[in-house]
Amino acid sequence: MNIDLTDEELAFRDEVRAFFQNELPPQVKEKIQRGLRISREDQIAYQQALYAKGWAGANWPEEYGGTGWSATQKYIFNNEAAAARAPRIIPFGLTMVAPVIYTFGNEEQKQRFLPDILASKVWWCQGYSEPNAGSDLAGLKTRAVRDGDHYIVNGTKTWTTLGHYADWIFCLVRTSDTGKKQEGISFLLIDMNSPGVSVTPIITLDGRREVNEVNFDEVRVPVENLVGEEGKGWTYAKVLLTHERTNIAGVATSKQRLERLRNMLAEPPAGMPSLVDNSVYMARVMETEIELKALEFTELRVLSAVATGKAPGPESSILKIKGTEVQQMIDELYLEAAGHYALPFVPEQYEEGGEANMIEPHFAPDTAPHYYNNRKVTIFGGTNEIQKNIIAKAVLEL
């Protein structure tokens, strides 16, 4: 048992560190430094910088342009990215739909879609959930009916993250009503510009537009956009879920956020209360840190099991549950650190040009909206209750 990095791994770490220091797009770097929000364009510029470096496909097989990184290298990359406070990589294209396409898609689909995903030329969004199919995803009703060499799609997807930015959406759709519900589901790729697709905003508790409802009204989708076989969509989506566990816990980001908080506690910026003498608060900081350390090692254990060829099993639900719980503990610590300046609602001060009349400390007014918004992490990607059901059933065999 050891966690030492080899010389090659140390060299890799330095290379990644240098990338974040020198090769981040300047406007992105500046916004990070000034604590401003990242726009769609910034996000694309960042992901394209990674692509230029050959680092866009961290989890992809090398034959499709992936990095071929080891688990340790991914771990190093995530830590360095978080330390540089780089934006997260939008997962829908690079880490969600791409694996389905390269694993289950045909040659033509691979050639058509993968290069643009890798180069972040096309923005994807995820169309799984529906108003009446959330936790019970298999109850989904969006229908795709075959009509010659097209499917006609009707129905409503909801909670579609950044759907208003997206060029394409990958959907689970119902192609049959016979047999088990899961067996009538297919995996379909839909161009958001198709006639009949409409996107309406859903505003979240932070007052921002992050999610959408996406409506399909008689949308004609060519049959060549079906991935794999009709009726197998559920299996593909599930394979994707159990394989896609890297970084789901957000350990690297949580570590970085906790470290920044510690620095602020040691030297509070103007307007932030001094909290180091509050032992109740400091105990919470310490407990969070301990939980995070345990989680880091749990994640390393899962990663090393994967590296030795074991597929991550349902026990990796731990990563989702504990990872999101720790994130929310940290949100609460920040909220407390903001003191009274958690109260002003001044979203404009996090936008380019909106910093006149700024409320100091700059981080403070964002802590409450962030806390509100981030209640989502225990809800999406399978709620934490559903994750616990999985542990109870599949791990504990109850």
Nearer to ligand FAD, 49 or 185 (CB): 185
> What are the phi and psi torsion angles at 316 (to 5°)?
-70, -5
336 a catalytic residue: no
Q: Give the Å distances, CA to CA, from 253 to 79, 303, 313, 319.
A: 7, 17, 24, 14
| Of residues 376, 352, 351, 379, the one with CA closest to residue 365 | 351
Report which of 151, 205, 204 is spatially closest to residue 174, judged by C-alpha positions.
151
Among 71, 122, 152, 335, binds other proteins (CB under 8 A): 335
- Measured from the CB atom, is 9 or 167 closer to ligand FAD? 167
Phi, then psi, of 85 in degrees rounded to 5: 55, 35
Q: Which does 128 bind (CB under 5 to 8 A by kind): other proteins, ligand FAD, none?
A: ligand FAD
Query: In whole angstroms, how close is the CB of 365 to other proteins at the nearest point?
Result: 8
* Distances, alpha carbon 331 to alpha carbons 194, 221, 311, 365, in Å: 40, 42, 32, 13
Give the residue, chosen from 193, 340, 353, 398, that forms a contact with other proteins under the rule CB under 8 A: 340
CA–CA gap between residue 232 and residue 361 (Å, rounded): 52
For position 1 contacting other proteins by CB under 8 A, the verdict is no
Q: How far apart are the first and last CA of the chain?
A: 32
Q: Which of 80, 230, 244, 336 is catalytic?
A: 244
Q: Does residue number 380 form part of the binding site for other proteins (CB under 8 A)?
A: yes
Question: Is residue 200 a contact residue for other proteins (CB under 8 A)?
Answer: no
Residue 361, preceding bond cis, omega within 30 degrees? yes
Question: Does the footprint of other proteins cover residue 365 (CB under 8 A)?
Answer: yes
Contact code string over 251-270 relative to other proteins, x by CB under 8 A: -------------------x
Using the Cα atoms of residue 76, residue 81, residue 85 and residue 91 in order, give the sign of their dihedral. Answer: negative
Nearer to ligand FAD, 346 or 386 (CB): 386
203 binds other proteins (CB under 8 A): yes
Residues noted as catalytic: 244
Give the footprint of other proteins on this chain (CB under 8 A). 129, 132, 134-136, 139, 158-159, 202-205, 207, 211, 270-271, 273-274, 278-281, 284, 332, 335-336, 339-346, 357, 359-360, 365, 368-369, 371-373, 375-376, 378-380, 383-385, 388
